Structures are given as C-alpha cells and as structure tokens.
A = this chain, B = another copy of it.
Amino acid sequence: MLFRQLFDKESSTYTYLIASGRGREALIIDPVKELTQTYLDLINQLDLKLVRAIDTHTHADHITALGELRKATDCMTLMGEFTRAECVSDHVSEGDIIDVDGVKLKSLYTPGHTDESFSFVLDGGGAREDAVFTGDVLLIRGSGRTDFQGGDPYKSYDSIVNKLFTLGDDTLVYPAHDYKGFAVSSIFEERNHNPRLAGKSAEQYADIMNSLNLPDPKLMDVAVPANLACGNAA
C-alpha cells in the first residue's frame, strides 16, 4: 500500500494520499487548496490516478482543495451525508464502505467538532495496522473545539469514547491537524493518555471544552463559506 502523509504548515493540516498500488487508483483525505499543485505533482510522479477526494468535515481554518482537485483530475468529491457543502458528488452514511482499488475505508459518523463530521477507518487487511482518520474530532492528546458549526462537547465525547475508542488498541490515529509535532498516535495511546478524555466523564469533558475560550480561526469567515462552495471564493 502506498501511504503518504502531507503537512500544510500554515494551518497545521495533515492530508493523506492513499493507494493500494494494484491499479494505480488513489484517494486523498482533507486536502488544502494552497497545496493543490503539490498533490497533483506527487500523484503524477507516483503514476497514480486520483478517483476520490474526501473531506472529513467543513473546515474552518483552511480552504479545501476538493474543487480544484475535481477540476484537475475529474475525481469524485465525497463527504458525510449531513454536509451542507453544495457541490460534493458522493455522500456516505454510517457504516458505508469506500473501496478504491482495494483500499477500504469504513465511514463512521462522529459529530461533536461539527454536526456533520465523519471519521474513516482504513482496513489494514492484516498486513498492516488498521488506521482511523479522525478529522478534528479526535486529535493527538487533544480534541477539536466544540463551540461552532454545530459543535457539541457531549456529542464529541460520545463520538470519541463510544465509537473511536471501541476500535482496536493498535489502530493508528491520523488526525486532520496537529500543533505539537506529533504525526500519528494509536487508540491505546489516546484512550489512556489523552488528557481531556482519559478517566474523564462526559460532564468533566464538557467542562473542559466549554472553558477553552479559543479565538475564532483567523480564516473562519473566508474558509467556511468557501468550503461550502467546494473551495471556490464566495
């Protein structure tokens, strides 16, 4: 399997390019508009054909590359069924399997950071660890804020504890962001060492999340409307 993690320094966003290598079809998760040419060059150099571009949710801190990638490659764009982004061509529901040339992703509805966030579980097929792309719901030793776009700390807790934490201990955790220098974690690590969640009740978690008092993302007023329009400026 071909697996490439890419990082946008400006927004600290992680993007994932994945292909089985059998028939050269590839998918990409949470791509950033400014890096579109980087992705296209890499896809070309690896002799891949992009067939699916996926956003875990409507990002508020960067503009999605979904629209640009569709223009350049004719790939299908995909998000969860509750997205309000207008130009997404393929919508998944809980449990749906996305199969790209043998790369299998299972869709999990994981609201909390936004009310339309999905996570995607990559089946390692026994040859490698399973992995879960958690978007902004579960971050490494953290979690995504719950104070806008239909965010809800109780839903976030439920998504993380009752859905993501029921995955196997060795399942690798690949979030959409990291701000501390981590690239990957595991369900074992987050269940036991995530300071917001380990040993915490839903009420304790909600208290933590409601006390964060974070400033709005600097790109929020630009990014959310643009992302609802596939990355095109309003």
Q: Does A81 contact B (CB under 8 A)?
A: no
Closest to A34 in B: B181
- Residues of B near A71 (CB, < 8 A) are none
Complex Cα gap A45–B186 (Å) = 11
Please tell me which stretch of A5-13, A106-114, A199-207 contacts chain B, meaning at least 4 of its Cβ atoms lie within 8 angstroms of it: A5-13
Contact with A38, one of B5, B181, B184 (Cβ below 8 angstroms): B181
Residue A193, interface by CB 8 Å: yes
Asked if A189 lies at the interface with its beta carbon under 8 angstroms from chain B, I say yes
- Chain B residues in 8 Å Cβ range of A128: 128
Check: A192 CB closer than 8 A to any chain B CB: yes
Residues of A within 8 A of B (CB-CB), count: 20
Further pairs besides A5-B183, A45-B192: 16, Cβ < 8 Å: A4-B182, A4-B183, A4-B184, A5-B184, A6-B181, A6-B182, A6-B183, A7-B7, A7-B182, A7-B183, A9-B9, A45-B189, A46-B189, A127-B127, A128-B128, A183-B183
Chain A contact residues, majority secondary structure: mixed
In chain B, what residue has the closest Cβ to A15? Answer: B181
Provide 25 A-B residue pairs closer than 8 Å at the C-beta atoms, listed in order of the A residue.
Answer: A4-B182, A4-B183, A4-B184, A5-B183, A5-B184, A6-B181, A6-B182, A6-B183, A7-B7, A7-B181, A7-B182, A7-B183, A8-B181, A9-B9, A9-B181, A35-B181, A38-B180, A38-B181, A45-B189, A45-B192, A45-B193, A46-B189, A127-B127, A128-B128, A183-B183
A2 to chain B, nearest CB (A): 9
Chain B's closest residue to A6 (CB) is: B181
